[in-house]
Amino acid sequence: MQTRRTHLAAAISAVCITLTAASASATSLTLFHNNDGESTLLGSNGFGGFEYFLNELESARDAAAMAGRDTLTLSSGDNFLAGIAFEASQDRRTAAGGLGSSYGSDNLSNNYYDAIALAVADYDAITLGNHDFDFGPEVLADFIGGYRAAGGEAAFLSANLDFSADPNLSLLTSPTSVPPAIARSTIVTAASGEQYGIIGATTESVDNISSPGPTIGINDVVTAIQAEVTALEAAGVNKIILSSHLQSIANEQSLVPLLEGVDVVIAGGGDELLANVDDALTSDPFQPNIEGPYPVVVDRNGQAVPIVTTVGEYRYVGKLEVEFDAAGNVTSFGGDPILVDPGTAIAATGDRTTAGGVTVNIQTDIIEPLTADDSAIRGEVIGSTEIFLNGIRADIRTGETNLGNLVTDAFVFSAEQLGGLDPNADGVIGVTNGGGIRAAIDAGEITNADVISVLPFANSLVVLNGFTVMDLVAALQHSVSAFPSQSGGFLQISGIEFEFNQYSREVMRVLLEDGTEIYNASLGGVQQDLVFDLVTNSFTAAGGDGYDVLAQYLATDLGISYAEALRQYVRDGLGGTVAAVDYGATQGRISAVPVPAVMALIVAGMVGLGFGRRRATAGQ
């Protein structure tokens, strides 16, 4: 077990900090880190798994401590994610009485599995990532409460997010919470007596890619971090670590030259693998491409600043060794990630006592009940599919796929079944962001687990009435704006077809399912008087992924989750079978058109721009 630390929140209103000056000796620190655990506690593709991750972490941490080195353990964000494991946790909370209910005398049986795991891992600080806000502030507050109930004492960090106006999270930043559950930065006193300042930062785009809600303020990252550096230095801390979740290590590389006083950066959100040529990582057949050396080094006015990150899902333990001189300057660094390979690693078993004194058995309190819950959830059969349904990330974020078609057809089906539609509208259109579709489905049975894996987020289905053609074109234009790069905002669609110039990324034509053309960029033609009912998920409707054009409409909630919409469509709309004749191939709903073909479209448009006023049909 790691030597206990003292946490003090830095720069929190009404908290006064008095610390002794830094010691006048050189210091050796080993930083252990991971990011994007994303509720993958049972492993992924035969690698990872929290029980194996924990054993690798504890073994390496104990070895460093035995060598006389200070140790810190950090998570740089995305500590849980919608999916089967998190649904199992939510079911436990519901059975206990819902959000905010007591965690009971044992603190474990009705707790979040991820919260217990974080407490057991004995982190010194935990950064808030974008996915930590996917279920909104109330769930995040309940989750942090579960972490504290399990004996976790590390602060959840974000320097650039303002929680003061949020009724749930503001209570966790209060000075009465000792140590504070949420802070902008924290000071950790290691076994040697050395003090380390740790600052958290969250991507400024969190409101576009997650659901923090209107009560959380989002501030400039550079300004917020620099303010915390100043506060930490004023408190006598001269060794400062930034633990950030900015979605790509390239963002941290751009950030470092803008900052003063940050010695080391632990990045998260990008799922990048950093490794050196002699790192033994080749046993992982799913190993991603190596993005750079471990660590990446950025020069800041002649000072070398190391930046590290890891692949997520508990598949790697990052280990960075840093040497500081007596003035707190970095004099050398090195390290490597440790692959979590269940084929060679040993699973952690037995009891652990968390920082708050709670006893946790790794197997009986986490792994075994989660495995049982996972099996039960996976067991329910929804229907079957005759073909592979393509939810591959690279495909669904750049073009039409048959799974994208199935999901958006399900949206239209549910809207027509549940109501909320304007009888004077000219059709029903379904759209959803590709980033909200998280998995593929193999041919064969479709289980509840498949549906949860494909559509894991807490999104409801909503209708935007009176949606105009020009706003539709604007949304489609935004959808393809990053093409051919992958974008979570790339829309899958139902009820329409559209074509865009693959080079200029300009939307050229939009047609109804029956072939009626409602927009032609080359001729300047548009059916101004047509309006539609647009059905989408609540995240996209609220402007997620930058869809401000949707956010200006009043959304009517249909009272059904987007996952349940897919279940009902497969079960009731398709009679339990996704047929190859309907979804065996893409249907030309989205076409990236090369320039020569665009000229042909102009000619076709001159013939076909008759603009008949017809109502679009739903389904196939």
Positions of the chain with pLDDT lower than 50, given as ranges: 1-23, 597-598, 601, 603, 606-620
In which residue are the tokens 């909370």 written? Answer: 93
Is residue 22 within 8 Å of 237, Cβ to Cβ? yes
Is residue 189 within 8 Å of 10, Cβ to Cβ? no
Angstrom distance (rounded) from CA 505 to CA 586:
20
**What burial class does residue 96 get, using C-beta atoms within 10 Å of its C-beta: 0-12 exposed, 13-18 middle, 19+ buried?**
middle
Query: In terms of Cα–Cα distance, which of 414, 417, 401, 421 is closest to 459?
Result: 414
Query: In terms of Cα–Cα distance, which of 267, 342, 337, 343 is closest to 298?
Result: 267
Is residue 461 within 8 Å of 409, Cβ to Cβ? no
Angstrom distance (rounded) from CA 440 to CA 447:
12
For residue 182, the cross-strand partners are 156
Angstrom distance (rounded) from CA 417 to CA 496:
20
Angstrom distance (rounded) from CA 541 to CA 557:
10
Q: Which architecture does CATH list for 381-608?
A: Alpha-Beta Complex (3.90)
For residue 383, the cross-strand partners are 446
DSSP string, 489-526: TPEEEESEEEEEETTT--EEEEEETTS-EEEETTTTEE
Q: For the domain bounded by 7-14+37-374, which CATH number is listed?
A: 3.60.21.10
| The predicted structure's pLDDT at residue 280 | 62
Query: In terms of Cα–Cα distance, which of 559, 91, 149, 370 is closest to 141?
Result: 149
For residue 336, the cross-strand partners are 319
Residues 308/314/316/322 CA torsion (nearest 10 deg): 40
pLDDT in tens, 36-84: 999 999 997 778 999 999 999 999 999 999 999 999 999 999 999 888 8
Q: Where in the chain is the domain with CATH 3.60.21.10?
A: 7-14+37-374
| The predicted structure's pLDDT at residue 610 | 47
What are the distances in angstroms from CA 142 to CA 89, 323, 391? 11, 38, 31
For 198, the token pair is 């740790």
Q: Where in the chain is the domain with CATH 3.90.780.10?
A: 381-608
Angstrom distance (rounded) from CA 461 to CA 556:
9
For residue 427, the cross-strand partners are none
Angstrom distance (rounded) from CA 195 to CA 523:
67
| The predicted structure's pLDDT at residue 607 | 45
For residue 351, the cross-strand partners are 361
Angstrom distance (rounded) from CA 193 to CA 8:
14
The secondary element (H helix, E strand) that includes residue 264 is strand 264-268
Angstrom distance (rounded) from CA 171 to CA 190:
28
Residues counted in the chain: 620
For 185, the token pair is 């930065």
Sorted by sequence, the CB contacts under 8 Å of residue 548 that are 6+ apart come out as none
The secondary element (H helix, E strand) that includes residue 231 is helix 221-234
Angstrom distance (rounded) from CA 184 to CA 48:
30
Is residue 275 within 8 Å of 233, Cβ to Cβ? no
Query: In terms of Cα–Cα distance, which of 575, 401, 428 is closest to 486?
Result: 401
